[in-house]
Structure 1
Amino acid sequence: MRNIEKILSEYNLKISRNKDNFLYIKGKNEDIFKLSQSLSRMRPLDFSVDQRKLIVLIKLLQAKEPIKQHALISDLDISAATIASYLDDLQAFVKGFGLMLIRKRNFGIQLSGNEASKRKALGKFFIQHFHEELIEALFQLDHHRFRYTDSLFLHYFEPAYLNVVQNAVNTELEEKKIDLADSDYMAFILQVYITYQRYSKGYRLQDVDHHSDLEESDIAFVQSVCHRIENEIKNEISELEKQYLAEYFKGSKVQSAESVYDDNVITSRNIKHLIELVSQKINVDLTSDFSLFQGLLAHLKPSIFRIRKNLGSYNPLTEQIKQQYPKLFKVITDVTQRVFKDLSFPDDEIAYIVLHFGASLEQRQSNINLHALVVCPTGIGASKMLETRLRKEIPCITNIEISSIKEMKTKDLDQYDLVFSTVRLPWAKHTYIYVNPLLSKEDVKNIEGYINSYIHSDQKDFREKNVKPIETDFLSGPKTLDNLMDDMKYMYSSISTLLRNLKVYTGLNGEDYRGIIRLMVESCFQQDIIKNVDSIYRRLLEREKIAGLGIPGTNMALFHCQDQGVKKLAFQLGHLDTPFILRGMDEKPMSVRNILLLLAPEELTPIQREIMSLVSSTIIEDNKSILIFSSANEHLIREKLEKSFYQFIKNKILEE
């Protein structure tokens, strides 16, 4: 306050108190105007707490030797207690990335850990604490509204350099027609910038990880981005650095739910188990919601990859989702731990999963028809007003009856889902909701909360009676009779083609399983299922390099291929006389006696993807299914698939 008074005195101003003991600046208007003009030209020296922590983190990341605590205190002009508090917070933050903050007397402060973890920690800190500032900066850069200066943005980024990185990434995303979620897009741009910046200052990746699970398209994308950047800044990075960025990019890509077919049986099985357990916990059956399954499959594949590679993620809606769906958030946190035992899902990833379930529940609620009784003393006047308000504010109440208190005594109240009253009723046997005839906002909120708890209660009869089936959007175009018949005919023809191309080979022998796969591919060529043997055989082996294909807990391996060289859907099985050791989907070696071959054309319709997914999930549906597909008995396998397809078609007809 003394410093403020000193500044004000230069403008003939002073601080005064009013009768309520509030402080205000007293003086002539022209003097106050001069002060405001002077302040507008000043550059503020004070930083926010997050900015100070960021400065400390950057200094620790850039230091090659331990930093003395008094140096940080002097640079930031803060107390020893404050810097100790900042370091405590940073210590907890970096621990999640496998880093250690060393603090020793007569030694100083040092951040210890591998280079990749340091980059991920810095990128996460930027996104977690400066999300809005980054969005604004990237927008201004993209629209040429950023004034390039010598000063650094957020104490780290050179605007011109950041613009080069963003332009390179944007150009490649547009040319390759690739989508990234907003937070993932930003995180990837930051990692590219951080990689080039730290590489140029001599901070290189030390650990050579195995990148066998990277796809060629991901590596090619990063190579193109780096080529564009290096043409501008004349600074190259090594292939190892590019592999690191390709890994990050793979974990950032958005997969359209419609473009996904189940090429990972384990993920599919876990997602189905996840939906089953959540359904049991919240007492709402979501197991038949295919759009929920498809959406989770599209999201969880890159999500699981990010978690396994410790790439980190940021969800700006996490806290809001926790508040909106507190019970669902807790349920899904518990269930994911049970289903994915070897993974630890952070809150940001849990929040994304909650959104999928929340959307499914919201859609379910929008398909509810409720029968309500409105009670008032006379049955006229106020009740009519309330009926009008209910129809407007609570659209899921589709049937409303009005009754006086006298008439209500003769009614069977069990036939109504909800009972509203504008007066206090003299009984406790039946639940009713007391509301204002004008239906206040608080009334609406209470009614919605009651309906939610009612829907999610154990009243199974209520759910079966009132919840309309949720339609899955598997048919494209307007729902005319012609569209419906064409799409149903296409569904039947796809299933018929797959069953017609079902074949089981027995007594197969060879020096290795690759030779047996070659024989199966050659047989597909003879059956006019594929155009070329070599290209399909090569694609199958390339897919195996990306990730193991053995199904854990079985003696089967699922080799699959979606390629322009495939003419028709086909599912074929080869039973080996001698088992071979293959890499499983859990990356562990396993004994395989049955090779399963699933082939599809490159362009698949949504219904064909559902059929492909159904085949994959049927294989590991239960122990009986595993025994059937391991038996090499074509009759039993065909019978099992036919039953699954029968139920599939039946559900589709009912939905439409």
Structure 2
Amino acid sequence: MHMTARERVLLQALLANEQGLTLQELADVASVSVRTIQRDLPSLAKVAANHQLSLHRGHFLVLEGASTYKLALKEKLQTINAGDFTSDERVGLLLALLLDANEPVKLFALAKELNVTPATVGSDLTKAAEWLEQFGIKLIRKRGYGIAVKGTETNIRQAMSAILSENLTEEAFYEAVYAGQMQNEVASRLLHFVDLETIRLVQSTIQRVKEKHFDDMADQSFIALVVHATLAIERIKQGEQIRMDAGQLEALHKEDSLPVAQELAEALAQTFQITIPEAEIGYLVMHLRGARIGHIQGEPFEQSNAELAGRLKQFIAGMEQDLSVSLAEPSLFQGLLAHLKPALYRVRQGMKIHNPLLEKVKADYAALFAVTAKQASKAFAPLKLPEAEIGFLTLHFGAALERRKRSVSLSALVVCSSGIGSAKMLASRIRQEFPEISSITNASLFDLDKYDPANFDLFISTVKVETNNRQALRVSPMLTADEASLIKANIDELLNEQTITAAPTIRTNVEEKRSFADIKRMASFIDSFLQSVRLVAVDELLAGIRVYCDILEEEGALSEAKQVYDALLARERLGGIGIPGTGLALFHTRLNEIKRPVFVFLDLKTEAQVASMADGNERIKRAILMLAPEALAEQELAFMSFVSILLIGSDDETALFYQGREREITQFLEQKCREFMISYINEGVDQS
């Protein structure tokens, strides 16, 4: 069984003192607080039991058992070296000790805790000070005083949460909460911020609310929420009060997640018999708002989508330019949109983002990471995205590039003059390096007249050869790295040309990604949407919407025209509906009273002024009525979002929606719907 460094120190002290030690004496031995020793006792008892010993708890803590077992444990402890931590791990542990301390800590005590020299601790403290600066916390180091941190309760809480989130993986969390033991010593030590039983109670309380309201929250977001709530409860019990600016608190009270945060706070208050202040509820709102949820929540086209979608299009366009590829696929856009909405919120709120795959992404996808960082800095300026977030975005583009390779099937004619063995070896290397090349035809130089290189996507040869004005890519049978790069460049060029010029084709070997029933349902939904597209002239904006709602009720698209109209007005009062710089306004809602999708253009006789989705007002000439049933399948919701984003596409597309005729708009939407459906069948529209 794994033992932490502190457990080893405590066991050695108990073995050396047969009569036992008090909690305070053990705390002095380990240079920690009595509260920390109390938290250590359950795990210490388990280690003792694993060695046929027991920990007797009274005024003195005594290690009881046969002398032979005590001797065996003593010998084992002497053969175990104290855990060697990396510099980053030591910095994390130092931060944990200092943030949790109520008074200054001596340098020698920190050195003893980590089993390193004071000089090493001094070097680590410099790094710790830099890390604390991002939270507005100062590291105080004075001779004769010791080392301490200085900051507001809010900042200290954020730093504590960040330290835990960076080190508490899903696996470590599971070990702590469910298995009752920790194999990761760093995570084990950091968990001494909090009581394990408190974590378990918080986890079970949040789990009940989670199953009711946000069951598909990502694991890491769930753990972050549990950690935040646990720290909040621990600090509230200690009399520490968090503060929040009144204006920020008022803004958070307008968030859709407020009722869930209030329900969660009430559940936690009942579990722990405490009062949770309004500011704490505000921070719960922030965590829920910034959590990664498995699907796009809320309306298919929210107020914030206009700016975000525009920036996202700029981001993808920049990536396409730097990578010299086309990335025009709904799944990439939808996946990035779903990810970035909560991610950008977390960045703006200063919430720490943890990416356990960051170092691996930077190592395995160095070039793609650099391009992603460059284009993200342009698209989302002045907001600066941290490296952890750049890592997540890199994975999205990496997945898109892989899907792009898998979605085509290339053929290659390979000419090798060294014999069939060399030809097969080269063909094998090509298959390993380029899975998108699914068909390879081997030919000798003398049999080349039997083949037409023009019938193959790639023409590769180990000798210099040119036929029908097509020159072969010359490589060696071993296929060097430079030669592989040459082939890759040609494949990328081919893929780019195919994506831009060739009509999409449906793969016939779909690996049961969509059932026939799924495809039929999606096709029916899209057909219903296209059937609703109309361009209608109206005299006045609101009156025109009211009249057309009545028409839709008569046609059976709605059941309660007045209720739908009221919902549209309520949405207008909630936030701007004018799409910036387009002359268009989008009225949209989802209700049970809406029976099928509706997409109608209302041509105004005279211009109207509405609140913009950005700042100020927008003069509009057309209003778009976008309605959908409340109960939509995930892919149906994705489709509605896909359509709404078309409104802020290229200048030509926006001009079409602003002044195009009904037939032109319908033809354009039919083409886009075909593309969506092909993508849906081939790969799906990933919302994660």
The TM-score, its normalising length taken from structure 2, stands at 0.72
* Distance apart, 1:364 and its partner CA: 1.6
8 Å Cα contact 2:93/2:190 also seen in 1? no
Please give the secondary structure, in 2, of the residue aligned with 1:154.
helix
Is it true that 1:280 corresponds to 2:321 in the alignment? yes
Match of 2:231 in 1: 194
Is it true that 1:245 corresponds to 2:284 in the alignment? yes
8 Å Cα contact 2:209/2:264 also seen in 1? yes
Match of 2:262 in 1: 223
| 1:288-303 equivalence runs, <5 A | 289-303=329-343
Change beyond 3 A, Cα 1:420–1:475: closer
* Distance apart, 1:496 and its partner CA: 0.6
Change beyond 3 A, Cα 1:494–1:372: closer
* Distance apart, 1:316 and its partner CA: 0.9
Deviates more, 1:520-529 or 1:248-257: 520-529
Match of 1:90 in 2: 128
* Distance apart, 1:249 and its partner CA: 1.7
8 Å Cα contact 1:337/1:344 also seen in 2? yes
8 Å Cα contact 1:259/1:606 also seen in 2? no
Match of 1:454 in 2: 490
Is it true that 1:178 corresponds to 2:211 in the alignment? no
2:403 to 347, 363, 369: 363
Match of 2:156 in 1: 118
8 Å Cα contact 2:205/2:271 also seen in 1? no
* Distance apart, 1:551 and its partner CA: 2.8
Change beyond 3 A, Cα 1:158–1:592: farther
Is it true that 1:432 corresponds to 2:470 in the alignment? no
Please give the secondary structure, in 2, of the residue aligned with 1:124.
helix
Match of 1:161 in 2: 198
Provide the rounded CA distance (Å) in 2 between the counterparts of 1:597 and 1:505. Answer: 13
* Distance apart, 1:282 and its partner CA: 1.0
Match of 1:644 in 2: 668
Change beyond 3 A, Cα 1:641–1:185: same
Is it true that 1:348 corresponds to 2:388 in the alignment? yes
8 Å Cα contact 2:172/2:182 also seen in 1? no
1:258-288 Cα distance to aligned partner (Å, 9 max, x none): 998443232223223322221222111111x
Match of 1:512 in 2: none
Match of 1:440 in 2: none
Is it true that 1:61 corresponds to 2:99 in the alignment? yes
The code of the aligned residue for 2:491 comes to I
* Distance apart, 1:381 and its partner CA: 4.8
Provide the rounded CA distance (Å) in 2 between the counterparts of 1:445 and 1:34. Answer: 60
Provide the rounded CA distance (Å) in 2 between the counterparts of 1:260 and 1:383. Answer: 57
Please give the secondary structure, in 1, of the residue aligned with 2:443.
strand
8 Å Cα contact 1:101/1:111 also seen in 2? yes
Is it true that 1:602 corresponds to 2:644 in the alignment? no
Is it true that 1:589 corresponds to 2:616 in the alignment? yes
Match of 1:332 in 2: 372
Provide the rounded CA distance (Å) in 1 between the counterparts of 2:509 and 2:547. Answer: 39
The TM-score, its normalising length taken from structure 1, stands at 0.75
8 Å Cα contact 2:100/2:193 also seen in 1? no
Change beyond 3 A, Cα 1:560–1:95: farther
Provide the rounded CA distance (Å) in 2 between the counterparts of 1:386 and 1:623. Answer: 48
* Distance apart, 1:524 and its partner CA: 6.1
How many equivalent residue pairs?
Answer: 596
Please give the secondary structure, in 1, of the residue aligned with 2:385.
coil
1:495 to 492, 509, 530: 530
* Distance apart, 1:620 and its partner CA: 2.3
Match of 2:580 in 1: 552
Please give the secondary structure, in 1, of the residue aligned with 2:540.
strand
1:215-245 Cα distance to aligned partner (Å, 9 max, x none): 7663333333333333332223112201211
Deviates more, 1:169-178 or 1:443-452: 443-452
Change beyond 3 A, Cα 1:646–1:458: closer
Match of 1:20 in 2: none
Please give the secondary structure, in 2, of the residue aligned with 1:561.
strand
1:411-438 Cα distance to aligned partner (Å, 9 max, x none): 88786625254xx8799x85433235xx
8 Å Cα contact 1:257/1:298 also seen in 2? yes
1:364-392 Cα distance to aligned partner (Å, 9 max, x none): 21234333344444644553566577668
Deviates more, 1:216-225 or 1:454-463: 454-463
8 Å Cα contact 1:367/1:468 also seen in 2? no
Provide the rounded CA distance (Å) in 2 between the counterparts of 1:103 and 1:76. Answer: 18
Match of 1:141 in 2: 177
Please give the secondary structure, in 2, of the residue aligned with 1:286.
coil
Provide the rounded CA distance (Å) in 2 between the counterparts of 1:57 and 1:285. Answer: 46
Please give the secondary structure, in 2, of the residue aligned with 1:651.
helix
Provide the rounded CA distance (Å) in 1 between the counterparts of 2:657 and 2:495. Answer: 39
Change beyond 3 A, Cα 1:222–1:162: same
1:296-324 Cα distance to aligned partner (Å, 9 max, x none): 12111111221122222111111111222
Match of 2:293 in 1: 254
Change beyond 3 A, Cα 1:73–1:539: farther
The code of the aligned residue for 1:206 comes to R
8 Å Cα contact 1:618/1:644 also seen in 2? no
Please give the secondary structure, in 2, of the residue aligned with 1:207.
coil
Provide the rounded CA distance (Å) in 2 between the counterparts of 1:623 and 1:395. Answer: 38
Change beyond 3 A, Cα 1:163–1:386: same
Please give the secondary structure, in 2, of the residue aligned with 1:155.
helix
Provide the rounded CA distance (Å) in 2 between the counterparts of 1:398 and 1:387. Answer: 11
2:357 to 289, 298, 317: 317
Deviates more, 1:598-607 or 1:622-631: 622-631
8 Å Cα contact 1:65/1:110 also seen in 2? yes
- Aligned alpha-carbon RMSD (Å): 4.6
Please give the secondary structure, in 2, of the residue aligned with 1:560.
strand
Provide the rounded CA distance (Å) in 2 between the counterparts of 1:371 and 1:526. Answer: 56
Provide the rounded CA distance (Å) in 2 between the counterparts of 1:152 and 1:233. Answer: 24
8 Å Cα contact 1:369/1:466 also seen in 2? no
* Distance apart, 1:622 and its partner CA: 3.6
The code of the aligned residue for 1:433 comes to V
Task: Give % identity.
Answer: 26
* Distance apart, 1:162 and its partner CA: 0.8
1:468-499 Cα distance to aligned partner (Å, 9 max, x none): 7587999998566x9766754542222112x1
The code of the aligned residue for 2:540 comes to G
1:419 to 460, 467, 470: 460
8 Å Cα contact 1:257/1:295 also seen in 2? no
* Distance apart, 1:248 and its partner CA: 0.8
Match of 1:19 in 2: none
1:626-653 Cα distance to aligned partner (Å, 9 max, x none): 556566xxxx363453132132244367
Match of 2:59 in 1: none
Change beyond 3 A, Cα 1:80–1:468: same
8 Å Cα contact 1:491/1:607 also seen in 2? no
Deviates more, 1:391-400 or 1:317-326: 391-400
